[in-house]
Structure 1
Amino acid sequence: MSGNVLLITSVLLVAAVLVLRSKRPAWYWMTFGVVFAMVRVSFRYASVMDACGLTVPPSRLRLTWARVTNRPAPESRPPRILRIRPTRTGLVLRLKMRPGQDAFDFMASTDRLRHSFAMQGITSREIKSGVIELRMTGYDVLKRVQMPAKIDREGLRVPVALREDGEVHYRDYQEVPHALNLGATKSGKSVYQRQLVKELAPLNVALVGIDCKEGVELAPLARRFSALADNPDDAAELLEALVARMADTYHVIRHEQRISADTPDGEITADIWGLPDGLRPVPVVLLVDEVAELALFSTSAEKKRRERIITALVRLVQLGRAAGIYVEICGQRFGAELGDGITMLRAQLTGRVSHRVNDEASAKMAFGDISPDAVLATTQIPIERPGMAVAGDSSGGWVRIRTPFTTLRQAVTACNTHAHRTPALDGLTAFRPVLPDVSLVKVPAPASTPAPA
């Protein structure tokens, strides 16, 4: 009788573990998966490294010593494990490479290591000379994005997505001042933009928007925007006003430099972050929702307007960083077919984020001049995973990310909550959204339904 009870209990326990693994993979990993993974990696480590070609033959000294002492020839040596650390999404394995090994060998073997260790994914990066870090994920962290409870927020560094290795993907405007966000319809590009606005809303920053779709994307968030343009004509004037503001900021920086022989090195600055707090202008983040609407034209008057817009944009991305003006450009396509100046504009956009695209040419617009591997990864984004994207920069590095689903209601709530932080920018008052007071808005009563005859 006790044997049957033990068997039923074991079956129920196994079933509960399988259900937990399927429905709540994060809970399964923290309770059972991390233990199984550490045991699996510890026991398979030497054989896996040897099978993947990540070992080095014994040195001549060891071979000579084995021959003199009449001992068996020593085996090949795998990299030495410096540390193995569990995380909320996987394992972090830090290795010390043997003489003659290269970091590229580990990067090329990540897929074989993933299969051998039975992990969801493995990424490799070189920490310092001779030290490699393998970040392993125990489950598909991009299937159901859950941002960690503790996130490091500092300055203009905001979290926007979750990386495939379980780490948080940040958008740091001081490190990467300008960026390009591409994506087809229903790819999650707008959700990425909402998440960005939601995280920027509590910060001491001015938001400026250009949404030529009559403002349907950015108008609901207008209470947190210092300036907003919903048509190309207003966009041209707004961009030229930002260029004028940039020039005024440079005058302030130049006046405060006061470079002389007795000026301390720490007081000499070439951007707004070295100015005193009382003189430092508020940084500005410019969001362009659909850049193609600014570049298309059909008449000679629209062509002149386009030239004004593109010229102002190029000036902002070339010179705006030191003046505290950061540009975020979104669009479905961003290539040379949009006309003169587009290629020059794209070259100044250091950050690149590409969601699902409809053709390979669109992926090449984002990563063709950076990394061919990122182009291939972009074309493989499945349609059933909106919000998934490939993020990279001009250094050639790239990673898969996925933005947590942010509804328009959540973004609007964040903007309304922090509406008191919206600064009034000199020269941009004419573009400030005029909105009614929330307390004065009357909700109409529902229409009464007629009684049936």
Structure 2
Amino acid sequence: MGWLAIALAIVAGLALLLRWRRPAWYWMTFGVLFAAIRIRVRYATVMDACHLTVPASRFRLAMARTFGREIPRQRVPRLLRLSPTRTGLRLRIKMLPGQDAFVFSAAADRLRHSFAVHQVITREAKPGIVEITMTGYDVLKRVQMPARVACDGLKVALALREDGRIHCRDYRETPHSLTLGATQSGKSVYQRRVIKELAALPIALVGIDCKNGVELAPMARRFSALADNPDDAMEMLEALVDRMEGIYEIIRREQRVSADTPHAEITADIWGLPEHLRPIPVLLTVDEVAELALYSGKAQEKRRDRIITALVRLAQLGRAAGVFLDIYGQRFGSELGDGITMLRAQLTGRTAHRVNDESSARMAFGDISPYAVFAATQIPNDRRGMAVVGYSTGDWFRIRTPHTTLRQAVNACNRHADLTPDLPELARFRPRIPTAAAPVPATAEPVAEAV
């Protein structure tokens, strides 16, 4: 018995050490087993305590009264499946008549306390089935991205979601996005992560950085065009609009719409063109949109109007021509002048890091979800890189970007500098690269973690 007690004490000490230092390892070794047993044992009791049961059917009540039997108990929704994941558990529950997914969503906080897990997220998997994702530990405290993430096309893995899944950005599905965040909120780290992941893809990067290029200039080897002041930005945007119009002429010429043309050969965007005619996609990154919208005189006001007009045209018409927008800023409200709200309405993807006031969060999520607005204002100062992502469907979730240093982003851009395409329309904005540069190591980088 003495040796058994010592062994149990060692195992308990190891479990506590893992829970403190390596929560992911603790979850995979001990936590998932304890949580599964706890859910199986407490399931019926928790469902009743959280008011997720329904009365027995009229037929059963009538039969009980007819034969003088005991009144049937409340009916508990059936647990169809309990699946362990890398960061938690996933439950599939068959809802009873009269229940909906909103009932389970409203009880998420009570379920979290009852089952002793860190986070509970619910969604309707299909009619009559609700999926509950439980997170066993705080996955956003120390971001650990998987070593391999399956991404294809123009889809990149950017961050880790609070439910343990990977947040990916698919530029073909969400061509334009808006990213807000206060100073020191992690907005620049998010931008570096985007550029670092896109550097290895066949896409042209075009940037506007009116802070004299301090954010984007170090990564200039991977950029086909770069503007570091509002005057150059205006000319570059108008040149990009001209390129977009030229691409539409190519699409119109190659549509070949006739009575004998199969439907599969008719296209209205660049993705249906033959590969040898397909223009390379372009991502336009605007580091601080307020620097393009502010003005102090008549001449600057005219320049500002031309810039906003070009941005609106690119946002409205750019998707089919393979032009994508990533716009960053601290605020994006109507105080920036005419056309700003029209531009914001075209930006489907919304990401908000820590903001200093509620109105800034409403600029991003006011037309999506009031709960997302509240979540964006609750991000603590010590969680740099944490953000809220929302979509026009009303869905939203918390994410955190792994810490990406400027050196890591520069190394990725230098390593894939040979993929930088030449855009004739933007040739005069091609950044000047010094001839002498330090060699870039070809060794793989370690998985980055958020601090």
Aligned partners of 1:100, 1:438: CA distance in 2, in Å?
Answer: 71
Q: Secondary structure at the match of 1:428?
A: helix
> 2:446 maps to what in 1?
none
Candidates 421, 424, 438, aligned match of 1:423: 421
Q: Secondary structure at the match of 1:254?
A: helix
Aligned partners of 2:278, 2:435: CA distance in 1, in Å?
Answer: 30
Aligned partners of 2:34, 2:309: CA distance in 1, in Å?
Answer: 58
> 2:364 maps to what in 1?
366
Aligned partners of 2:368, 2:391: CA distance in 1, in Å?
Answer: 8
Aligned partners of 2:123, 2:336: CA distance in 1, in Å?
Answer: 37
Show CA shifts across 1:130-170 (max 9, x none).
Answer: 11100000000000001122312011111101000000001
Q: Which stretches in structure 1 are left out of the alignment for 5+ residues?
A: 442-453
AA matched with 2:338: D
Q: Secondary structure at the match of 2:371?
A: helix
Q: Secondary structure at the match of 1:223?
A: helix
> 1:74 maps to what in 2?
72
AA matched with 1:110: A
> 1:236 maps to what in 2?
234
1:25 positional shift: 0.1
Q: 1:43-442 residue pairs with structure 2 within 5 A?
A: 43-438=41-436
1:94 positional shift: 0.7
Aligned partners of 1:9, 1:127: CA distance in 2, in Å?
Answer: 44
Aligned partners of 2:437, 2:413: CA distance in 1, in Å?
Answer: 16
**CA shift in 2, pair 1:440/1:107, >3 Å:** closer
AA matched with 2:434: P
Q: Secondary structure at the match of 1:345?
A: helix
> 1:447 maps to what in 2?
none
Aligned partners of 1:148, 1:27: CA distance in 2, in Å?
Answer: 14
Once superposed, what is the RMSD of the aligned Cα atoms? 1.3
Aligned partners of 2:50, 2:423: CA distance in 1, in Å?
Answer: 59
AA matched with 1:183: G
1:96 positional shift: 1.0
Show CA shifts across 1:39-98 (max 9, x none).
Answer: 011111111111111111111112223334443222111211121100010000011111
Q: Which deviates further from its counterpart, 65-74 or 43-52?
A: 65-74
1:8 positional shift: 4.3
Q: 1:6-21 residue pairs with structure 2 within 5 A?
A: 6-21=4-19
Show CA shifts across 1:84-114 (max 9, x none).
Answer: 1000100000111111111110111111111
AA matched with 2:170: D
1:6 positional shift: 4.4
Show CA shifts across 1:375-399 (max 9, x none).
Answer: 1101100000000000001221110
1:226 positional shift: 0.6
**CA shift in 2, pair 1:208/1:94, >3 Å:** same
Using the size of structure 2 for normalisation, the TM-score is 0.95
> 1:446 maps to what in 2?
none
AA matched with 2:112: R
1:438 positional shift: 4.3
Aligned partners of 2:161, 2:238: CA distance in 1, in Å?
Answer: 37
Using the size of structure 1 for normalisation, the TM-score is 0.95
1:405 positional shift: 0.4
AA matched with 1:105: V
Aligned-pair identity in percent equals 67
Aligned partners of 2:424, 2:81: CA distance in 1, in Å?
Answer: 54
> 1:33 maps to what in 2?
31
Aligned partners of 2:72, 2:83: CA distance in 1, in Å?
Answer: 30
AA matched with 1:221: M
Show CA shifts across 1:326-381 (max 9, x none).
Answer: 00000011111111111111111111000001111111111112211111101100
